[in-house]
Amino acid sequence: MADHNNQPVIIIRRKKKGGHAGHHGGAWKVAYADFVTAMMSFFLLLWILNVTTSDQRKGIADFFAPMSVSRSEGGSGGVMGGTSITSPRGAEISSSSPPGVEADTTTTAGKGDLGEEDVPGKSETMSEADKQAAYQELLTKDAVAMAEAMKQEEEKFKEAESALMQSIMEAPGMKELAQHLIIDRTPEGLRIQIIDKDKFSLFPSGSSSPYEKGRDLLRLVGAVVSRLPNKISVTGHTDSSPFAAGSRRDNWDLSTDRANVSRAELQAGGVADNRIARVVGLADKDPFVMSDPKDPRNRRISIVLLRQTPAADAVPKPSTTTHKP
């Protein structure tokens, strides 16, 4: 017995080996997909805000704006307009009105459910038709007024042309200069060109100081055109003969100086300063004789009485030349 009681106590510990965790399921995949979708929507929104204008963004916002629904607590303010779906009027509303849209149930006393004034869009159509008719009438009146203004201006141009030729023919020693005037019509207005020809020149070669007869002719033209209210354009032209080597001047300078001197002579003839619209020098870039850039007729001064009517560009073609050299 003593030996039995002295035996050591043996304790056995059994350790459980850790196994694999249970299956986690696919919930994380759904969450991740929602996150990716949200990020894509966010970046798509940023891209739309970047590439659209304010008007386009307003249109998009209006498109996605919810339809207005009456906030009235009573039955008449609801979708059914206070009627039952079993009533004829209620059935009509429920079948024709989209959900969430307030339907108009008011009727005009003494008229049928679909009277003349209740026809959708009729009043708007008539109003638009009236606007179109008024617009066409206004256009017609404007066209008539414009045509009348152009007719009156053309009559004044003819009178100025006749007066100019008569003044030249009557002025002492100026009659032979009539052949140096070319008067015609352009889209801009009445053009009077004074050209060099034969033995007559407005200016000495390379100079911007006019000869005495050239000065008298410019002043005579100024006296005639001063009777009209039109603005005036003065343009100087030269031939293509170059200046001597080493000269500080060229044909651009010469044509501009001659145009400016001609402007001063027109004013000396009676043209008011506020009538001068522009003074331009074109050198030899707009020749009168295209085939011969050195032809003396390319040296000229062009004076244009500018049209006052807004339809100046509507003139189809310049009229034939009245006086040719």
Nearest to 308 by CA among 149, 123, 178: 149
- DSSP, collapsed to helix, strand or coil, labels residue 115 as coil
Confidence (pTM): 0.53
- Write down the pLDDT at residue 75: 47
Quick one: which of 160, 168, 148, 182 has its CA closest to 305? 160
Q: Given pLDDT bands bounded at 50, 70 and 90, which one contains residue 92? A: very low
Distances in Å between the Cα of 215 and the Cα atoms of 44, 90, 167, 268 are 76, 95, 15, 10
CATH number of 144-314: 3.30.1330.60
194 forms beta bridges with: 181, 301
Tokens read off for 219: 């002043």
Q: Calculate the dihedral angle through the C-alpha atoms of 154, 159, 165, 171, rounding to the nearest 10 degrees.
A: -150
- DSSP assignment of 118-160 equals TSTTHHHHHHHHHHHHHHHHHHHHHHHHHHHHHHHHHHHHHHH
Report whether pLDDT(87) > 80: no
Q: What is the pLDDT of residue 140?
A: 75
For residue range 112-142, what is the model confidence (pLDDT) as tens digits?
444 444 444 444 455 777 777 777 777 777 7
- What is the average pLDDT score of the chain? 76
Whether residue 61 has pLDDT greater than 70: yes
Of 34-43, 126-135, 198-207, the range with the lowest mean pLDDT is 126-135
Q: What pLDDT, on the 0 to 100 scale, is given for residue 222?
A: 94
Domain ranges (residues) in the chain: 144-314
Instruction: Give pLDDT, residue 46.
Output: 85
Q: How far is CA 44 from CA 33, 41, 53, in A?
A: 16, 5, 16
Indicate if the pLDDT at residue 57 is higher than 90: no
CB 325 within 8 A of CB 194: no
Q: What backbone torsions phi and psi does residue 303 show, to the nearest 5 degrees? A: -115, 120
Q: How confident is the model at residue 199 (pLDDT cuts 50, 70, 90)?
A: confident
Better-predicted residue by pLDDT, 246 or 285? 285
Beta bridge partner(s), residue 302:
193, 235
How high is the pLDDT of residue 211? Answer: 94
pLDDT classification of 231: cutoffs 50, 70, 90: very high
CA distances from 193 to 152, 217, 254, 262, 318 (A): 23, 11, 17, 12, 14
Burial class (CB in 10 A: 0-12, 13-18, 19+), 210: buried
In this model, does residue 47 exceed pLDDT 90?
no
Q: In angstroms, rounded to a whole number, what is the distance separating the alpha carbons of residues 200 and 40?
A: 84
Is-contact 234 279, C-beta < 8 A? yes
Helix (H) / strand (E) element for 225: namely helix 212-225
- Average pLDDT over every residue of 219-233: 93
Quick one: average pLDDT of 298-303?
96
Which residue's structure tokens are 């009627």? 83
